Amino acid sequence: MWAMSGPSRLRFPYEPDRDRLPEITRGSEMRRRDFIAGLGAAAWPLAARAQHGEHVRRVGVVMGTTAEQSGSSVMAFEQGLRGYGWIEGRNVRIDYRWSAGNTDRIRANVAEILSLKPDIVLINGARVLAAMQEATRTVPLVFVATIDPVAQGVIASLARPGGNATGFSTFEFSLIGKMLELLKQIAPYTARVAFIFHPDNPESIFFMKLLETAAPSFAVNPIAAPVVDRAEIERAIESLARDPNGGFLVPPDIFLITHSELIIQLATLHRLPVVYPSPGWVRQGGLVSYGTDGEDLFRRAAGYIDRILKGAKPADLPVQAPTKFQLVINVKTAKALGLDVPVQLQLLADEVIEQ
């Protein structure tokens, strides 16, 4: 029997556990635009950055997404570095590579970053982490990428990783159950729940098993919907919409992020309730999201970068779990789908989009 327990449990319609809710983020679109506009700074000559005579350390960053999709997270990372005294153009150079969910580009980006001889590399995305570990077992790595790094063979244990990689898990194990709970709160009639995923994602099997375990507790039939391109995304959602009382969940997956606009459009067209993994989906027009606060993880990752640049070894730094989660609801989309979002749920939300 699936049991949702512990301090991070979403409680509907009970009194919110405010100590577990993350801070409301504001102005993220403006900050992201400012950040992306300043990305050209990464191309400054290294010699110009050492004008104060300080030793310049080199940090590589390989992201599985595009610059625009990662803007707020990377900005949080750079803010975190500045808090530790690492200033771009003075004592650190940050080389970015963006992969847009493309496997071939990920491999090329990994090779390019390693050719620059970085002191350390920050990684986002399970595919990026796998490619980087295939390429090096010596360069220190900090990941914000994986849900179960031990099971995937990335590290020896959470407490003592034991190799050249450590970082931050992006997943809390009851998350799929909480996403189902949200779906049933907003669309109680839902009886079939599809799980859309890319089969190359090493975490997809794990997610599907969690859904299958949680489904009986919410009286829903779980449906696996693997997709590898736009055409398969369209077919999967259209197939789900042929029968009544369907909905679906979207896991954190770089491939799906790159097709977010299509997925949201099709969900709206077919009037399907969907729970997404992060606020960006809902701000684009999706119904609701619940998941890890990515900006918080990137900000915390800066602390590990600082410690390793100052002599700590990744092998000795424990992998940390997420501590902040975000619930975002788009009431406008709910109305378009003919759904009423319970007031108690809106009170729990970190952000409610009404227009």
User: CA-CA distance, 62 to 85, in Å (whole number)?
Assistant: 22
Convert the pLDDT of each residue in 56-82 to its tens digit. 999 999 998 888 888 889 999 999 999
Convert the pLDDT of each residue in 116-154 to its tens digit. 999 999 999 888 998 999 999 999 999 997 777 887 788
Please say if the pLDDT value at position 284 is more than 50: yes
- If you search the block for the tokens 């100052």, which residue do you land on? 310
Q: Please count the structural domains in the chain.
A: 2
CB atoms within 10 A of CB 71: 22
CB 250, CB 196: distance < 8 Å: yes
- Residues 82, 145: one domain? yes
DSSP state of 172: -
CA nearest to 64, candidates 112, 110, 29, 32? 110
Instruction: Label residue 6 by pLDDT band (50, 70, 90).
Output: very low
CA nearest to 93, candidates 120, 48, 59, 63? 59
Average pLDDT, the chain: 85
Q: Which domain holds residue 160?
A: 26-171+293-325
DSSP state of 99: -
- Asked if the structure places residue 6 within a domain, the reply is no
Higher per-residue pLDDT: 324 or 200: 324
- Residues 260, 311: one domain? no
- Residues 179, 165: one domain? no
- Residues 118, 93: one domain? yes
The three-class DSSP label of residue 195 is strand
Q: How many CA atoms lie within 13 A of 256 on its CB side?
A: 24
Instruction: Label residue 172 by pLDDT band (50, 70, 90).
Output: confident
- Residues 162, 304: one domain? yes
User: CA-CA distance, 101 to 122, in Å (whole number)?
Assistant: 17
Q: Give residues with Cβ within 8 angstroms of 173, minimum separation 6.
A: 210
CATH number at residue 180: 3.40.50.2300
- Residues 139, 275: one domain? no
Q: Which helix (H) or strand (E) holds 321?
A: none
CB 62, CB 132: distance < 8 Å: yes
- Residues 274, 143: one domain? no
- Residues 259, 301: one domain? no
Q: Give residues with Cβ within 8 angstroms of 120, minimum separation 6.
A: 57, 59, 60, 139, 140, 141, 142, 305, 308, 309
CA nearest to 349, candidates 290, 277, 295? 290
Please say if the pLDDT value at position 173 is more than 90: no
Convert the pLDDT of each residue in 231-258 to its tens digit. 999 999 999 999 999 999 999 888 898 8
- Residues 304, 166: one domain? yes
User: CA-CA distance, 319 to 170, in Å (whole number)?
Assistant: 11
Instruction: Label residue 53 by pLDDT band (50, 70, 90).
Output: low
Higher per-residue pLDDT: 273 or 200: 273
Has this prediction a pTM greater than 0.85? Answer: no
User: CA-CA distance, 197 to 252, in Å (whole number)?
Assistant: 9
- If you search the block for the tokens 């200033």, which residue do you land on? 87
